[in-house]
Chain A
Amino acid sequence: MRVRITFSKQGPLRFIGHLDLHRLWERAMRRAGLPIAYSQGFHPQPKISLAAALPLGFSSRGEVLDVRLNEELTVTDISTRLQESLPPDIKIIDVQSVDERLPALQTQVLSAAYNVHLTEAIDGSELTRRVETLMNSESLLRERRGKSYDLRPLIEMLSVITEANGKVWLKMTLASREGATGRPEEVLSALGIEADTTRVERTRLIFQA
């Protein structure tokens, strides 16, 4: 069966990278005694795929993976067994059985939503003005790893939230397709905000219907 798991990644596990997270899941599933399917060949690999790499340092409330199992189990059973085997900073949010024939999970991601908390005080109205200027521009050429690209079309939504207590933070949705992935730290940099004065959380991944 093919199982889709939505989970959160918080606390110290924010500093665990993509490959390490992959291995963490493999071990958790083994501890839970789930019958993971393995690829054929000389070095069999467990059939686990993560939807989209989460940058180091970001927490998340909506990571998604697909795993193939050799036996049919109930989603409740899978969920209970896994939660007991996971480190405390990964929590299962949802487990679903999905159609085996669906295309690979990574190819179905369209975009990703983020909340950005600012750890240093900032002038809310000035920030709002900068966000408006950015969103009103046609294009925003930036350079990353020596290559020039247009960041503007990758930003689907960007807004400043001002809470009743005066706390200001940002919400954004960025494209997350193969070859067209918007990075939150690039948007922050375009707004003149230093990445190390922020705490970013991915709130959800948006998939093709």
Chain B
Amino acid sequence: MFGMLTPEQIENKLDRILLKVQKPGRYVGGELNSVHKDWDKVTTRVALVFPDIYDIGVSNVGLKILYDQVNQREDALAERAYAPWLDMEPLLREHGIPLYALESKQPLACFDLIGFSLPYETLYTNTLNILDLAGIPVRSEERDDTHPIVIAGGHSTNNPEPMHAFIDAFVIGEGEEVIHEIIDVVKKWKAERNNPLSAFRREDALRELTKLQGVYVPRFYHTSYMEDGTVAAIEPTISEAPKVIHKRIVAKLPPPPTKFLVPNIDIVHNRVSVEIMRGCTRGCRFCQAGMITRPVRERSVEEVVAAADEAVRATGFEELALLSLSSSDYTYIKDLVDAISKRFEGRKLTVSLPSLRIESVSVDLMEKLKQHRSGGFTLAPEAASERMRRIINKFIPDEDIINTTREIYSRGWTTIKLYFMIGHPSETLEDVQAIADLCKRVIAEGRKVAGWKVKLNAGVSTFVPKPQTPFQWVSSDTRESILEKQALLKRELFKDKSIKLSWTNPDDSLVESWLSRGDRRIADVIYTAWKNGARFDAWEEGRKFETWMAAFAEHGLDHSFYTHRQRRTDEVFPWEHITAAVRKNFLFQDFRMSLEGQIRVDCRLNCFACGILPTFANLRRENPGEGWKCPEVKTPARKMEVELPLVGD
């Protein structure tokens, strides 16, 4: 579609269109701390793509880590690209401007490696669109030695199958180390493909990639199906490819990035983010992140404070976010908060500490950070009936919620945000009624201590079952049921002007549902939906539910097979060959416990043998001590596949 243009030609063409779009600053780069390397002085050029708009992508921490990792190499460079917004895409096409990287303005097709970040499934159509806008064949099988190798990583690749036709290789798990190994293979391919005496071609490079732990190359696997449409087996077609792809982890979190990009336009998260801990020991059954990011690894207080200080100096940002899945579980959270508030005293800096447990200690922590009371205080009970809290394994008694929210209001916050989910397995209208009742009680109790000014924002999203979780077997709630539950909440809560209710469009949840647990056949549906205009599926502006329905019909598939089917207990999942190292039988046992309303406590207190330690026994043995929150492994080294007896088992 596009000839190769030079960066100068691209810039000249851009000049003609940039004033016709909203926020042209999205498309020009020039941010402080962006890295501009000499294009001709490196051998491997990597384009890192976040397939959502700039405003969201530029602050993504995952890509920032990889950007730093690659740019630290002498022999490689990393640049960035994002999805052009709906107003920009037609202009790029009309003016024949191929999608380019923001630093050098080189077309993406001129890079050797394109790495997509896919943290959520609703970015799939954008990924196809970006490849197409770059003039790169959208289907993996149509690419040859003249095209970049296209890889993807991020949480949604825990079921890579729906995207298997478009991505050459997936990274399962953490990318910090494996990105270097991938670059080494790409470097070799680049050198050999121009050598007429060498027979090493794209296919050979992809074969090499299968040998790296955590890398999945879908073209070397075959899926067969049963008569009922479920998967019969997924098997490698070449001897090098492993039968099961184990996720990759880093034993010790590398130093956090500090030279964050400072965008020149307003974006969603204008802030420095420092990851204090990776993984979560709580075991909430709906939470994919909590299952796939194990084991828990913590950074030291000193490392976090030093990185935060350096990053604030390097960016001038007004806000610092201390990131983790569950801040309250960070071992030295009190010390950290003390150290941060001391270090930044008197500086105009807002510190945010997300995912706090519902207890009064959390209020003390936030108070110490001298949070702007105007920002509101966020808590996530997720469910409001005791039965449902047992099912999802997030057990917080009502009294704890009431006591904590009362405390928050009485200490001067006027707004509390409570996050809930509807559509949990076996949920009834009574469980939903409990959400409304709890909200009313929070407000009523708040008024007793702080008067009529208290406000409550209730964010009620819809649960979507995810692969590699205890709920991977369950059906998504139907549209009718979700609408009925949302109607109940609106009826109950609209009367009170102090309560603001927000909810998710059920169509959006359905799109997410079939993309999350689809098999290889969903790839054609994605392709057709994209061809017919689907993109920005997470955005109201992009909503194209009918387009998706038509795409299912065109390929003779029924979406409810993927969304509304309770999966058999012995079912082979489309992602059966991918593992986040938490064993399927552990997940199944947890699912069974959920049906019986049984709780599993924090696994820091008691190891439940989820499967992490046998897989990563060597890494744990080499990294003893309290960095990891799993028990220590003291037995002698053995082969990875062999299961080890566990401490506390």
Which A residues are closer than 8 A to B by beta carbons?
11-17, 19-20, 23-24, 26-31, 38, 44, 56-57, 85-89, 119, 195-196, 199
User: B300 within 8 Å of A by Cβ?
Assistant: no
CA distance A13 to B263 in the complex (A): 11
CA distance A79 to B166 in the complex (A): 51
How would residues 1 to 32 of chain B score, 1 for a CB under 8 Å from any chain A CB and 0 otherwise?
00000000000100111110000110111111
Q: Which residues of B contact A31 (CB under 8 A)?
A: 313-316
In chain A, what residue has the closest Cβ to B264? A16
Q: Which residues of B contact A30 (CB under 8 A)?
A: 316, 348
B316 & A26 in contact (Cβ 8 Å cutoff): yes
CA distance A20 to B30 in the complex (A): 13
In chain A, what residue has the closest Cβ to B28? A12
Within 8 A of A (CB), among B240-273: 262, 264-266
A56 & B30 in contact (Cβ 8 Å cutoff): no
A85 & B316 in contact (Cβ 8 Å cutoff): yes
CA distance A38 to B348 in the complex (A): 10
Given contacts A26-B316, A88-B30, contact A20 B25 (CB under 8 A): yes
In chain A, what residue has the closest Cβ to B19? A57
> Which one of B31, B266, B317 contacts A87 once the chains associate, using CB atoms below 8 Å?
B31
CA distance A34 to B24 in the complex (A): 30
Most chain B beta carbons < 10 A, residue from A16, A38, A195:
A16
A-B pairs with the 6 shortest C-beta distances? A12-B30, A27-B316, A12-B28, A15-B24, A30-B316, A31-B316
CA distance A85 to B30 in the complex (A): 14
A23 & B266 in contact (Cβ 8 Å cutoff): yes
Q: Which residues of B contact A23 (CB under 8 A)?
A: 266
Q: Which residues of B contact A86 (CB under 8 A)?
A: 32
CA distance A23 to B262 in the complex (A): 11
> Which one of A20, A28, A196 contacts B266 once the chains associate, using CB atoms below 8 Å?
A20
CA distance A17 to B17 in the complex (A): 16
B18 & A89 in contact (Cβ 8 Å cutoff): no
Can you list 28 A-B pairs, Cβ within 8 angstroms, ordered by A? A11-B30, A12-B29, A12-B264, A13-B28, A13-B30, A13-B264, A14-B28, A15-B18, A15-B25, A16-B25, A17-B25, A23-B266, A26-B316, A27-B262, A27-B315, A27-B316, A28-B316, A29-B316, A30-B316, A31-B313, A56-B24, A86-B32, A87-B32, A87-B262, A88-B30, A89-B30, A119-B15, A196-B16
B19 & A196 in contact (Cβ 8 Å cutoff): yes
Q: Which residues of B contact A19 (CB under 8 A)?
A: 266
Instruction: State the Cβ distance, A164 to closest chain B Cβ, in Å.
Output: 24
Within 8 A of A (CB), among B21-61: 24-25, 27-32
CA distance A11 to B24 in the complex (A): 13
Which interface class (under 10, 10 to 19, 20 to 34, 35 or more) fits B? Answer: 20 to 34
Most chain B beta carbons < 10 A, residue from A23, A38, A89:
A23
CA distance A23 to B18 in the complex (A): 21
CA distance A128 to B47 in the complex (A): 48
B265 & A20 in contact (Cβ 8 Å cutoff): yes
Q: Which residues of B contact A44 (CB under 8 A)?
A: 348
Q: Which residues of B contact A29 (CB under 8 A)?
A: 316
Most chain B beta carbons < 10 A, residue from A15, A23, A28, A89:
A15
A57 & B18 in contact (Cβ 8 Å cutoff): yes
Q: Which residues of A contact B15 (CB under 8 A)?
A: 119, 196, 199
CA distance A161 to B260 in the complex (A): 45
Instruction: State the Cβ distance, B556 to closest chain A Cβ, in Å.
Output: 47
Q: Which residues of B contact A14 (CB under 8 A)?
A: 28
CA distance A73 to B134 in the complex (A): 50
Instruction: State the Cβ distance, A117 to closest chain B Cβ, in Å.
Output: 11
CA distance A19 to B25 in the complex (A): 12
Q: Which residues of B contact A119 (CB under 8 A)?
A: 12, 15
In chain A, what residue has the closest Cβ to B262? A27
In chain B, what residue has the closest Cβ to A195? B19
CA distance A90 to B615 in the complex (A): 52
CA distance A23 to B263 in the complex (A): 10
Q: Which residues of A contact B18 (CB under 8 A)?
A: 15, 57
How would residues 546 to 575 of chain B score, 1 for a CB under 8 Å from any chain A CB and 0 otherwise?
000000000000000000000000000000
CA distance A58 to B28 in the complex (A): 14
Instruction: State the Cβ distance, B333 to closest chain A Cβ, in Å.
Output: 27
> Which one of A16, A87, A199 contacts B265 once the chains associate, using CB atoms below 8 Å?
A16
In chain A, what residue has the closest Cβ to B313? A31
In chain A, what residue has the closest Cβ to B17? A196
CA distance A72 to B265 in the complex (A): 31
Q: Which residues of A contact B12 (CB under 8 A)?
A: 119
Within 8 A of A (CB), among B315-338: 315-317
Q: Which residues of A contact B32 (CB under 8 A)?
A: 86-87
Instruction: State the Cβ distance, A183 to closest chain B Cβ, in Å.
Output: 13
In chain B, what residue has the closest Cβ to A85? B316
In chain B, what residue has the closest Cβ to A196? B16
Instruction: State the Cβ distance, A114 to closest chain B Cβ, in Å.
Output: 16
CA distance A44 to B15 in the complex (A): 37
Instruction: State the Cβ distance, B358 to closest chain A Cβ, in Å.
Output: 29
Instruction: State the Cβ distance, A184 to closest chain B Cβ, in Å.
Output: 13
**18 additional A-B residue pairs with CB within 8 Å, beyond A31-B313, A196-B15:** A11-B28, A13-B28, A13-B30, A15-B27, A17-B25, A19-B266, A20-B264, A26-B316, A30-B348, A31-B316, A44-B348, A56-B19, A57-B19, A85-B316, A86-B32, A87-B262, A119-B12, A199-B15
CA distance A56 to B262 in the complex (A): 19
Q: Which residues of B contact A11 (CB under 8 A)?
A: 28, 30
CA distance A142 to B481 in the complex (A): 58
Given contacts A56-B19, A57-B19, A87-B264, contact A15 B316 (CB under 8 A): no
Instruction: State the Cβ distance, B345 to closest chain A Cβ, in Å.
Output: 16
CA distance A56 to B265 in the complex (A): 12
Q: Which residues of B contact A199 (CB under 8 A)?
A: 15
In chain B, what residue has the closest Cβ to A32? B316
Most chain A beta carbons < 10 A, residue from B17, B18, B32, B316:
B316
A15 & B315 in contact (Cβ 8 Å cutoff): no
Within 8 A of A (CB), among B334-362: 348
CA distance A17 to B25 in the complex (A): 8
CA distance A88 to B31 in the complex (A): 9
Within 8 A of A (CB), among B592-634: none
CA distance A196 to B12 in the complex (A): 11
Most chain A beta carbons < 10 A, residue from B24, B266, B313, B314:
B24
In chain B, what residue has the closest Cβ to A10? B30
Q: Which residues of B contact A12 (CB under 8 A)?
A: 25, 28-30, 264
CA distance A87 to B315 in the complex (A): 11
CA distance A14 to B266 in the complex (A): 15
In chain A, what residue has the closest Cβ to B314? A31
In chain B, what residue has the closest Cβ to A13? B30
Q: Which residues of B contact A88 (CB under 8 A)?
A: 30
